[in-house]
Amino acid sequence: MTTVDERLGADAAAMRRALELAELGPARGVNPRVGCVILSPAGDVLAEGWHRGAGTAHAEVDALSKLEPGAARGATAVVTLEPCNHTGRTGPCAVALVDAGVRRVVYAVADPGDHSSGGAARLRAAGVDVTAGVLAGEVEAMLDDWLFAARSRRPRVIVKWAATLDARTAATDGTSQWITGPAARADVHRRRAAADAIAVGTGTVFADDPSLTARDDGGHLLDEQPVPVVFGRRAVPADAAVHRHPHTPVLLTGEDLAADLEELQRRGIRSLFVEGGPTLATAFLATGLVDELLVYVAPALLGGPHLAVGDLGISTIADAHRFRFAAVERLGDDVLLVAHPTTHPGGN
């Protein structure tokens, strides 16, 4: 007879394999990466599956499809995410597991979706034994950006700027290339590539005509490219460099940043890398919609009017937006400060 410890060990081992399968799926898009392992009553692996992207079979259904009818009766399904409970392009996975005769379901993290959650309750109502939270920390880490976007109904917002010791982002004549050195610039491009989208305001488009691409040291495009997003009411010129980006630019007014972020989340954007300029960074900071600051500081002084951040509407020190340092990195002659807000002033 299987002991509790043995069962917990088998659940964890199967979940680790499900996590490996999940990582085979696409890291970007509306849907999460999910893996599933189906075990026989004796603990042997009957089938494995993972989700390959929007419109394809979910991990549970993918695994079940590899079995003969009736082969999953009495089995245990180990899934990284709570089986869904809604009908979209595919049917509810909770129902598919019940119909297949699965006796037990083990999952790591609850589904935070308004429409897709509730699978565990549906399984229990059908008499299926459900265990939650197995290797939850590891799965949470893997699904970090997707879970944040699903729970917050918006992408994670990372605001970046490069500045001198006196917080200037450009000289008096407007020149800003280059405040920081090559190591810092390479780090920026690596982080661009890791983000789903990169954003600037129309002021930056007119002033700098940025390409908003992620490039290597030789100027070649990296394999992963963020979707370019431009905030502002002015029309982007037809010959702007952003129109030559590998992805079609997303144009948003910026009049309601919260609503704009919800729209980006609906488009499958999980992380937004805000690059410029000071007007856009200030708008995100003032509304409390910043989840991480990346401040590249060069050992130089410029003086003048071009500050990294404009007026935040703060009149007294007690109302200061407070952050905590998450990391401090030396990049050549420059320093990167990574900071997270201790509170969101906008209540988000």
Picking from 207, 201, 248, the residue whose alpha carbon sits closest to that of residue 226 is 248
Which structure tokens are listed for 263? Answer: 């729209």
Picking from 220, 161, 125, the residue whose alpha carbon sits closest to that of residue 338 is 161
140: annotated active-site residue: no
Print the SS3 string covering the chain: CCCHHHHHHHHHHHHHHHHHHHCCCCCCCCCCCCEEEEECCCCCEEEEEECCCCCCCCHHHHHHCCCCCCCCCCCEEEEEECCCCCCCCCCCHHHHHHHHCCCEEEEEECCCCCCCCCHHHHHHHCCCEEEECCCHHHHHHHCHHHHHHHHHCCCEEEEEEEEECCCECCCCCCCCCCCCCHHHHHHHHHHHHHCCEEEEEHHHHHHHCCCCCCECCCCCECCCCCEEEEECCCCCCCCCHHHHCCCCCEEECCCCHHHHHHHHHHCCCCEEEEEECHHHHHHHHHCCCCCEEEEEEECCCCCCCCECCCCCCCCCHHHCCCEEEEEEEEECCEEEEEEEECCCCCCC
| Cβ contact 216:187 at 8 Å | no
Catalytic residue among 6, 48, 60, 262: 60
Positions annotated as catalytic residues are 60
